[in-house]
Amino acid sequence: MPKLWSETIEAHRRGVREAILDTTAALAAEYGLLSVTMSQIAEQTGIGRATLYKYFPDVESIVRAWHERQVGHHLHHLAEVRDRAREAGERLEAVLEAYALIHQRRGQHQRHHRHGAELATFVHRDEHVSQAEQQVLDMIQGLLAEASEAGDVRDDVPLEELARYCLHALAAASGLLSEAAARRLVEVVLAGLHPTVDSTDQQAAHDRDPQ
């Protein structure tokens, strides 16, 4: 039964890979990312160094894989939340709230570990946005486009810029101590997105005098 055997091997490999990611995240959270070595990771995972190198060439690539996995989980959760709501405005609000709560809970978790945030911040770079992060950005932009058609979103700023604004602003939830505070943050972010009397006035003024 060669097929079953290869499936078993595949499952085993996935299991080892997951264990490597979990071990690395735990070591980094406890001792700090800069002090984690490949030898430590192999030992704590319970595999040989040579085996570890068959999976990953260095600590940095493990950290990246860990991050991709995290964002993948979040993406899945956000898609579920999105698909539960019907109306465009509701969908946008529900996803933004879910995103804020992910950050709020992560922040809470990280405050319990001396080096808890290093892993996340190390890989969190605007210019090398991972594929999964780009998908989150695309999802938000899509929801903004829907809500925009319903007239719920200001039209004086490109949707891609508004999507970036949402993601960055909501990440402030990682420093908030309660879910209630995270929900207040969502209200503030949404207020920034709405077409405001102010912006309409400014737009009208700008149309009259394009100086």
Q: Is 73 in the site for its own copies (CB under 8 A)?
A: no
Binding-residue total with its own copies (CB under 8 A): 52
The token pair at 3 is 């097929």
Nearer to its own copies, 32 or 46 (CB): 32
Nearer to its own copies, 98 or 173 (CB): 173
Q: Min. distance of Cβ 14 from its own copies in angstroms?
A: 26
Residues 100-159 that bind its own copies (CB under 8 A): 107, 110-111, 116-118, 121-122, 124-129, 154, 156-158
Contact residues: its own copies, CB under 8 A: 32-34, 59-60, 107, 110-111, 116-118, 121-122, 124-129, 154, 156-158, 161-162, 164-165, 167-172, 174-176, 181, 184-185, 187-194, 196-199, 202
